[in-house]
């Protein structure tokens, strides 16, 4: 189904598209259970739509991957359509991007771009030393 044909509150959606953007990961706690959510943007020949990635999907999907959503659902938030797998849908990686995150970073640097040019936050030495993940890695 082409992305341009998707309508709010539409279910049983099947879409194949390319991931063109992946936003910041947010953590939440609902009913005492922790979870993660991330907004991505996917496109096909007809258009693009926001895609909500939940928990393990976040780690599976990378920019440049071609994905297939089966039994998806279209929501609408602040006038923008959003696609999600919900409880009953499925996300499948059809083909992975041939460019790794490290290679993208190297290509960006070669092109003269930096993380700050893209609006990304660059951690300072102080922030790195306060980062609990970094501290855990140092301990191991």
Which residue in this structure is represented by tokens 């991931």?
19
Task: Please report which confidence band the pLDDT of residue 15 belongs to, taking 50, 70 and 90 as the band edges.
Answer: very high
Nearest CA among 29, 31, 48 for reference residue 40: 48
Give me the sign of the Cα torsion angle 70, 75, 77, 80. positive
The CATH code of the domain at 1-96 is 2.40.50.140
CB 69 within 8 A of CB 15: yes
Between 99 and 92, the more confident residue is: 92
Domain residue limits, the chain: 1-96, 99-140
The whole-model pTM stands at: 0.68
Which residue in this structure is represented by tokens 């659902």?
73
Does residue 103 surpass a pLDDT of 80? no
pLDDT reported for residue 129: 41
CA 107, CA 122: separation in Å to the nearest integer?
A: 18
Nearest CA among 57, 4, 55 for reference residue 27: 55
Percent of the chain with pLDDT over 70: 70
């Amino acid at each position: 189904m082409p992305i341009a044909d998707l309508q709010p509150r539409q279910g049983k959606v099947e879409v194949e598209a390319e991931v063109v953007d992946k936003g910041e990961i947010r953590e939440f706690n609902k009913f005492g259970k922790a979870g993660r959510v991330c907004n991505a943007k996917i496109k096909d020949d007809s258009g693009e739509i926001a895609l909500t990635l939940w928990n393990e999907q976040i780690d599976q999907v990378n920019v440049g991957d071609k994905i297939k959503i089966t039994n998806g659902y279209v929501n609408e938030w602040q006038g923008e359509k959003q696609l999600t797998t919900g409880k009953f849908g499925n996300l499948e990686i059809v083909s992975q991007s041939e460019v790794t995150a490290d290679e993208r970073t190297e290509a960006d640097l070669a092109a003269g771009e930096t993380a700050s040019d893209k609006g990304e936050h660059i951690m300072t030495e102080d922030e790195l030393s306060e980062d609990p993940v970094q501290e855990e890695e140092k301990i191991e």
